[in-house]
C-alpha cells in the first residue's frame, strides 16, 4: 500500500489537485480573481498530460456553466470554478444544471460582489444562489477543500444534483498550508468512474429539458426539492467512507469544536470558522463556556443535526459575513432561526455581520465580539 | 453538380406529426438537413419555434437526442458536448463513430443573444455545425425585430418599419477564420443538402445559415414559403454562397447575379408579396423607404462581389 504524500499547497492548488484525482473529463473555465489560479492549473495539467481531460477556455462564466451542463448531459464528469460576479453571471444556467439533474461540481471562491469593487472575501455570492437547487458545501481549510471536492463528486453523481464547494478568496485560495494527498488508488476506491443512468445518445433519441405541462413541471420541481433534502444521509456517508479510506475528517453536515458543554456557541462558515476555534480557546481561558458549530453544508441546511447538536439553553452567536437585505442582520441567522422555531425554544439567537469585503477577522476580534454580544 | 431533390436519401429525421405551422420553412429545412446528417448526431436547440413545436417531454419530433439549452448558449453548450464525446471516445467510454454535434438555432439565438458564445466557439474552432434558421425576426414570441430583420420590416417592436439594415452574420462568421461557412434557403434543397454533407465531413467549426421565410412574420400566404424563398434569392435579397477555408464562391442563381450575367429582379415584387414590407406603401415616404430596401440589397451584392475577390 502506498503512503499518503504531504505537500505545501494553496487552497486553489488543493482544489486543482482534487479535480485531477477525481479523473474529471471536461473542464470549461474562465478566469476571475481569486479563482483564476485554479483554472490556470487545470489548463496546465491538461496541456502537459497530467490530466486526461479537455479544458475549454470559454469566453465568460455563463458559457462556462453552459458548457459544463452540456458536457455533463453527454455523460462526462465535469468541473468548473468561479467567484463572485462570475457566479452571479451563471445564475440562469445554475438552474439548468439542477433542474436538468446534472451532477456538475463547481468551486466558488467566495468574494464580495460588485458594486463597488472588492477583491476580497465575503459570502454574499454563494448565499445569493440559495434558491438555485444546488447542494452547497462551505470549507474552512485547504485540506477540507481537497477532501470536499472528492466527496462532492460522489454525492452529485449519487443524487444527480449539482454541488458547489465554497471557500474564501485569499484566506484559503492563496494561503499555503500542508496538504495530505491520499494515494490515487484510495481515491479511485472512494470515487468510482462516472456511469450516468442517462446521457445524450443517438442510439436512444429522447429529449432533454424539453417543454412540460404544468403537472409534470411541478413534479420535476417537487422531486428536486425532496431529493436535495434526501441527500443529507449521502453527504454523511460520503464523509464517513472518505474517513474510513483516508483517515481524514472535516465534519459531515456540520463540524463542531468544544460544543458539548458550551453555553455560548459561535455559528459561522468558511475560514472565519477555523479562526473561531482560536477565539473559543480565548473565551474558555476567560472562563466562558464557549463552543463552535460550523455548518459545513449550507444547502440542504442541516436542520436536524444542528437541532440535536446545540446544548440546552445555549446562546448562539451567529457571525454572518453577508447581508440579508431587508432584515437587520445576515442570512445564516435567518436560516438558523427558521429551523429552531418551535423546535428549540430554549435557544437564544444573536447575530452580527462582520468581515464584509474581506475585513480581517482575527481570533481576538471575534472573541471580543462574542463577549459583547453576550451583554446584549 | 447540385444534388437533385429526387436523389435525396429516403431517411427522415423529422418525424411525422409535430406542432409546426403549415408551410414552416424551419421544419422543411431541418428535414433536408436530416437527410444529409443521418441519425448519428446530437442536436442542441435554444428556445425557438423548433422547440415549441417539437413535442413534449420526454419525446421529440426529431429522430436525434435533443437538448434544449439556455438561449444565449448554443456555442458554448455545443462545445461542451463535442469535447465530452471526443474525450469519452478517447477514454474508451463511448463506442462507435463519433456523432455529429449540431445546433439548430434561430436568428435570435445566433445574431443577438447567442452571438457572444457562438463567436467564442468559432474562435476556438470547436468541432460542430451551427445552423441558423433565419426567419428574420423573433417569430416564436410573436414577431419582434432581431439583428437579422431587414430595414423597412414591420414587427411588433418596429411598428413603423425597422430603420436599420440587418447585419451580415455569415460574413461575420467567416471572419472568425473557420473552415466552412455557407448560406442556403429552402427553395434550393439540393444546394442545402450538398452544403450539409460537405460540412459534416470537415473537422472544426462550420456555420450554415438558412433563410426561412415565415408566413406569420413575413405575412404571406402559407403555401407560398418556397416561392418567397426563391424570390428572395432572385431579387438578391438573399445570396447563396459558401466559403471553404476563407475562399468565397457563389452558388446558382446568386453566382449569375454576382457575375453580372443576369441582373437581380427588382425588389418591388418581393416586397409587395409581404405584409411586413408592403405597409410601407401606405406611408407618405413610401418611395424613399422602398428605395432604402433596394439600396441595402444593391450594397450587399456589390460588397460581397468585392469581398469574394479577397482570397488570401
pLDDT of residue B109: 98
Q: What is the pTM of this model?
A: 0.97
Quote the cell numbers at residue B24.
414552416
Separation in Å, CA of A49 to nearest CA in chain B: 13
For residue range A205-251, what is the model confidence (pLDDT) as tens digits? Answer: 988 999 999 999 999 999 999 999 999 999 999 999 999 999 999 99
Of the residues A42, A62, A211, A223, the best mutation for testing chain B's interface (the one with the most B CB atoms within 10 Å of its CB) is: A211
Chains A–B, number of C-beta pairs less than 8 Å apart: 175
Pairwise CB contact (< 8 Å): A202 & B65 = yes
Pairwise CB contact (< 8 Å): B76 & A70 = yes
Domains observed in chain A: 5-245 (3.40.50.970), 254-374 (3.40.50.920)
Of A304, A140, A205, A157, whose CA–CA distance to B37 is shortest? A205
- CB contact residues (below 8 A), chain B span 60-79, against chain A: 60, 62-70, 72-73, 75-79
Alpha carbon distance B29, B35 (integer Å): 10
In a domain, B135, yes or no: yes
Pairwise CB contact (< 8 Å): A202 & B70 = no
Yes or no: say if A111 and A86 are a contact pair by the CB < 8 Å rule. Answer: no
A121: three-class secondary structure by DSSP: coil
- CB contact residues (below 8 A), chain B span 114-173, against chain A: 116-117, 119-120, 123-124, 126
In a domain, B312, yes or no: no
Alpha carbon distance B216, B219 (integer Å): 5
Pairwise CB contact (< 8 Å): B66 & A60 = no
**pLDDT over threshold 80, residue A1:** no
Tell me which residue in B67, B99, B119 faces A70 most closely, judged by beta carbons.
B67
Tell me which residue in A54, A62, A201 faces B86 most closely, judged by beta carbons.
A54
Residue B14: left (phi > 0), alpha (psi -120 to 50), or beta?
A: beta
Nearest-Cα residue of chain B relative to residue A23: B91
In a domain, B118, yes or no: yes
Alpha carbon distance B31, B9 (integer Å): 11
Mean pLDDT of A112-135: 98
Range of the domain at B126: 5-307
Give how many domains chain B has, as a whole number. 1
Angle at B121 between CA B120 and CA B124, to 5 degrees: 85
A342: three-class secondary structure by DSSP: coil
For residue range A88-111, what is the model confidence (pLDDT) as tens digits? Answer: 999 999 999 999 999 999 999 999
Yes or no: say if A134 and A298 are a contact pair by the CB < 8 Å rule. Answer: no
Interface check for B81 against chain A (CB to CB < 8 A): the answer is: yes
Separation in Å, CA of B89 to nearest CA in chain A: 11
Beta strands at A254-257 and B66-68: parallel, antiparallel or unpaired: unpaired
Separation in Å, CA of B213 to nearest CA in chain A: 25
Pairwise CB contact (< 8 Å): B41 & A204 = no
DSSP for B129-192, written as a single string: EEEEEE-SSBTTTT-B--TTPPTT--BTTBTT---SPPP-HHHHHHTTT-SEEEEEETT-HHHH
In a domain, B266, yes or no: yes
- Cα A44 to the chain's mean position, in Å? 25
Tell me which residue in B39, B76, B93 faces A63 most closely, judged by beta carbons.
B76
In a domain, B226, yes or no: yes
For residue range A287-324, what is the model confidence (pLDDT) as tens digits? Answer: 999 999 999 999 999 999 999 999 999 999 999 999 99
Of the residues A30, A55, A66, the best mutation for testing chain B's interface (the one with the most B CB atoms within 10 Å of its CB) is: A66
Q: Which residues of chain B does A25 touch, with a Cβ-Cβ cutoff of 8 Å?
A: 84, 87-88, 91
B42: domain CATH number? 3.40.50.970
pLDDT tens, position by position, for chain B (312 residues)?
Answer: 899 999 999 999 999 888 999 999 999 999 999 999 999 999 999 999 999 998 888 888 999 999 999 999 999 999 999 999 999 999 999 999 999 999 999 999 999 999 999 999 999 999 999 999 999 999 999 999 999 999 999 999 999 999 999 999 999 999 999 999 999 999 999 999 999 999 999 999 999 999 999 999 999 999 999 999 999 999 999 999 999 999 999 999 999 999 999 999 999 999 999 999 988 888 889 999 999 999 999 999 999 999 999 988
DSSP run (H or E) holding A106: strand A105-110
Of the residues B39, B41, B65, the best mutation for testing chain A's interface (the one with the most A CB atoms within 10 Å of its CB) is: B65
- For chain A, the residues whose C-beta falls within 8 A of a C-beta of chain B are 25-26, 28, 52-54, 56-60, 62-64, 66-76, 78, 92-93, 96, 193, 200-202, 204-213, 216
For residue range A124-163, what is the model confidence (pLDDT) as tens digits? Answer: 999 999 999 999 999 999 999 999 999 999 999 999 999 9
Separation in Å, CA of B267 to nearest CA in chain A: 40
Alpha carbon distance B248, B168 (integer Å): 14
Task: Say how many C-beta atoms besides its own lie within 10 A of residue A146's C-beta.
Answer: 28
Beta strands at A348-353 and A315-320: parallel, antiparallel or unpaired: parallel
In a domain, B285, yes or no: yes
Q: Which residues of chain A does B44 touch, with a Cβ-Cβ cutoff of 8 Å?
A: 70
> Which ipTM did the prediction report?
0.97
Angle at A232 between CA A226 and CA A233, to 5 degrees: 115
DSSP run (H or E) holding A27: strand A26-29
Report the C-alpha dihedral over residues A131, A137, A140, A144, rounded to 10 degrees. -160
Alpha carbon distance A135, A133 (integer Å): 7
Separation in Å, CA of A204 to nearest CA in chain B: 7
**Residue B307, class by beta-carbon neighbours within 10 Å (0-12 exposed, 13-18 middle, 19+ buried)?**
middle
Tell me the sheet residues that pair with B211: B134, B185
Amino acid at each position: 500500500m502506498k503512503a499518503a504524500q504531504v505537500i505545501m499547497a494553496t487552497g486553489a492548488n488543493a482544489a486543482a489537485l482534487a479535480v485531477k484525482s477525481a479523473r474529471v473529463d471536461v473542464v470549461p473555465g474562465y478566469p476571475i480573481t481569486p479563482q483564476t489560479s485554479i483554472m490556470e492549473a487545470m489548463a496546465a495539467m491538461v496541456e502537459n498530460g497530467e490530466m486526461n481531460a479537455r479544458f475549454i477556455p470559454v469566453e465568460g462564466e455563463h458559457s462556462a456553466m453552459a458548457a459544463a451542463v452540456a458536457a455533463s448531459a453527454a455523460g462526462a464528469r465535469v468541473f468548473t470554478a468561479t467567484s463572485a460576479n462570475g457566479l452571479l453571471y451563471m445564475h440562469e444556467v445554475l438552474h439548468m444544471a439542477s433542474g436538468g439533474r446534472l451532477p456538475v461540481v463547481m468551486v466558488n471562491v467566495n468574494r464580495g460582489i460588485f458594486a463597488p469593487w472588492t477583491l476580497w472575501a465575503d459570502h454574499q455570492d454563494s448565499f445569493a444562489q440559495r434558491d438555485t437547487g444546488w447542494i452547497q458545501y462551505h470549507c474552512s481549510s485547504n485540506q477540507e477543500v481537497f477532501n470536499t471536492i472528492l466527496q462532492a463528486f460522489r454525492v452529485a453523481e449519487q443524487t444527480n444534483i449539482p454541488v458547489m464547494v465554497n471557500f474564501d478568496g485569499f484566506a484559503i485560495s492563496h494561503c499555503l498550508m500542508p496538504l495530505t494527498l491520499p494515494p490515487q488508488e484510495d481515491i479511485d476506491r472512494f470515487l468510482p468512474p462516472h456511469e450516468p443512468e442517462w446521457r445524450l445518445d443517438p442510439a436512444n433519441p429522447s429529449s432533454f429539458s424539453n417543454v412540460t405541462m404544468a403537472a409534470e413541471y411541478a413534479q420535476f420541481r417537487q422531486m428536486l426539492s425532496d431529493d436535495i433534502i434526501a441527500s443529507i444521509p449521502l453527504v454523511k456517508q460520503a464523509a464517513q467512507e472518505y474517513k474510513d479510506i483516508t483517515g481524514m475528517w472535516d465534519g459531515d453536515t456540520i463540524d463542531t469544536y468544544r460544543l458539548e458543554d458550551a453555553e455560548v456557541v459561535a455559528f459561522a462558515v468558511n475560514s472565519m470558522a477555523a479562526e473561531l476555534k482560536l477565539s473559543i480557546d480565548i473565551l474558555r481561558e476567560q472562563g466562558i463556556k464557549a463552543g463552535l458549530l460550523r455548518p459545513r453544508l449550507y444547502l440542504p441546511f442541516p436542520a436536524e443535526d444542528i437541532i440535536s447538536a446545540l446544548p440546552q439553553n445555549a446562546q448562539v452567536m451567529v457571525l454572518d459575513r453577508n447581508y440579508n437585505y431587508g432584515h437587520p442582520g445576515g442570512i445564516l441567522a435567518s436560516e438558523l432561526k427558521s429551523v429552531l422555531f418551535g423546535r428549540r425554544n430554549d435557544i437564544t439567537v444573536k447575530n452580527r455581520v462582520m468581515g464584509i469585503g474581506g475585513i480581517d477577522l482575527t481570533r481576538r476580534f471575534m472573541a471580543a465580539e462574542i463577549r459583547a454580544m453576550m451583554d446584549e | 453538380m447540385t444534388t437533385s431533390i429526387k436523389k435525396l436519401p429516403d431517411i427522415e429525421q423529422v418525424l411525422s406529426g409535430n406542432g409546426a405551422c403549415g408551410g414552416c420553412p424551419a421544419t422543411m429545412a431541418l428535414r433536408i438537413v436530416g437527410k444529409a446528417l443521418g441519425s448519428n448526431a446530437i442536436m442542441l436547440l435554444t428556445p425557438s419555434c423548433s422547440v415549441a413545436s417539437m413535442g413534449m417531454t420526454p419525446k421529440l419530433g426529431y429522430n436525434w437526442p435533443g437538448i434544449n439549452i439556455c438561449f444565449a448558449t448554443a456555442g458554448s453548450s455545443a462545445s461542451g458536448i463535442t469535447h465530452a464525446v471526443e474525450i469519452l471516445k478517447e477514454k474508451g467510454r463511448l463506442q462507435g463513430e463519433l456523432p455529429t454535434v449540431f445546433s439548430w438555432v434561430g436568428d435570435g439565438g445566433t445574431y443577438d443573444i447567442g452571438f457572444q458564445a457562438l463567436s467564442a466557439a468559432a474562435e476556438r474552432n470547436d468541432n460542430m455545425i451551427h445552423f441558423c434558421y433565419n426567419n428574420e425576426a423573433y417569430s416564436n414570441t410573436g414577431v419582434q425585430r432581431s439583428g437579422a430583420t431587414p430595414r423597412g420590416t414591420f414587427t411588433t417592436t418596429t411598428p413603423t418599419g425597422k430603420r436599420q439594415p440587418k447585419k451580415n452574420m455569415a460574413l461575420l462568421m467567416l471572419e472568425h477564420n473557420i473552415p466552412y461557412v455557407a448560406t442556403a434557403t429552402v427553395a434550393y434543397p439540393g444546394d442545402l443538402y450538398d452544403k450539409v454533407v460537405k460540412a459534416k465531413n470537415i473537422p472544426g467549426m462550420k456555420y450554415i445559415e438558412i433563410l426561412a421565410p415565415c408566413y406569420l412574420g413575413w405575412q404571406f400566404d402559407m403555401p407560398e414559403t418556397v416561392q418567397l424563398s426563391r424570390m428572395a434569392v432572385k431579387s438578391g435579397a438573399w445570396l447563396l454562397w459558401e466559403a471553404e477555408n476563407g475562399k468565397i464562391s457563389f452558388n446558382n442563381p446568386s453566382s449569375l447575379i454576382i457575375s453580372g450575367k443576369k441582373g437581380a429582379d427588382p425588389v418591388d415584387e418581393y416586397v409587395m408579396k409581404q405584409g411586413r414590407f408592403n405597409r410601407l406603401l401606405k406611408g407618405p415616404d413610401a418611395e424613399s423607404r422602398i428605395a432604402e430596401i433596394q439600396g441595402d440589397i444593391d450594397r450587399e451584392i456589390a460588397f460581397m462581389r468585392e469581398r469574394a475577390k479577397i482570397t488570401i
